[in-house]
Amino acid sequence: MKNILKIKGDASSRKFYRKNNNNYTSVLVFAKKEKFKNLLVYDSINKILNKNKILAPKLYKESYNKNYIEIQDFGNETIFKKLNKKRINKFIYFKKIINLLNKTQSIKNRKIKNFKNKYYTIPKYDKSLLIKEASLFCDWYAKKKLSRSSKDKFAREFQKIIKHLANNLKLKNNIFVHRDFHVSNLMLVNNQIGIIDSQDALIGNKAYDVASLIDDVRMKTSKSFKKKVYNFYIKKQKKLDPHKFKNDFDILSILRNLKIIGIFTRLAMRDRKNNYLKLIPYTWKLINMRINENKIFQDLKQLLNKNFKGKLNEN
């Protein structure tokens, strides 16, 4: 059709099309795989965000039986694209993003009526899911890189360490967590910041989205810049134990980035999306940076150094 144009997708199995409706454009989101999450849940989370005066794509039309929904078009200008332009003051944008994050973390109503006229309640981000996600590192990356004899031993030790780390989280699981809160999922819409890709949102740890924003594998920033953004977030918090928060930030950053290495390997091996492999070296750098900031990671560092030589500094 002349008025429908395919647009660039993401790491998921969804397909996106821009539709020209004469005086405005919209986006068609197609999803046969994980249809409930990618269409129904996605719109439900967007409705919750909009209800809390946070910009997220509005639903124009649902064709759930035909595997798609039609939603508001936020254009092509991601914050990631904006920040990669020359002479951009990154910190100005990150301050706006932190203010937006504070709004999402203030969301209290977690239940909404979806377009099927049923209530959707955002589930909890429990420890078992956190452990399962971090184990993707084992299931895909370690499986590919290690010999058959060493990968089983590695998997057993890895599981033990990951469980220990998850059990050492100090903050409550009581905050709206987008779970992929980084500059590629934030759009510039008429000088406002809109949020996309929210279908994985859960109720979890306050530090998770902060870690995913600051230790973003796609956006290279200096350690001093990361610290500046982190401190700006902390200053904005009224009731926060900074020691507990830093403990959880470090743990969640490492668990998340181990998961990401696993996901990027899976995308290449299973889905033939090899372009994500180039992000793995920087992901290792981020793990290396955080692993040296807390003695709790001593066993993990030892295990990774033993099995993946040269990925981490051995000092």
Helix, strand, coil: what percent of the chain each, to 5? 50, 15, 30
d(CA 178, CA 208): 9
Confidence of residue 312 (pLDDT cuts 50, 70, 90): confident
Residues 257 and 217: beta-carbon distance below 8 Å: yes
Tell me what the mean pLDDT of segment 254-260 comes to.
Answer: 98
Confidence of residue 194 (pLDDT cuts 50, 70, 90): very high
pLDDT value at 238 more than 90? no
Confidence of residue 125 (pLDDT cuts 50, 70, 90): very high
pLDDT value at 114 more than 70? yes
pLDDT value at 315 more than 60? no
pLDDT value at 172 more than 90? yes
Query: What are 172's two structure tokens?
Result: 């409550």
d(CA 64, CA 58): 16
Q: Over the chain, what is the mean pLDDT?
A: 94
For the beta sheet containing 59-63, the strands, ordered from the edge strand earlier in sequence to the opposite edge, are 4-7, 15-20, 25-30, 68-72, 59-63
Report the amino acid identity of residue 30.
Answer: F
Query: What are 73's two structure tokens?
Result: 């078009």
Question: Model confidence over 42-100: pLDDT tens digits?
Answer: 999 999 999 999 999 999 999 999 999 999 999 999 999 999 988 899 999 999 999 99
Residue with the larger pLDDT of the pair 315 and 115: 115
- List the beta bridge partners of residue 189: 192
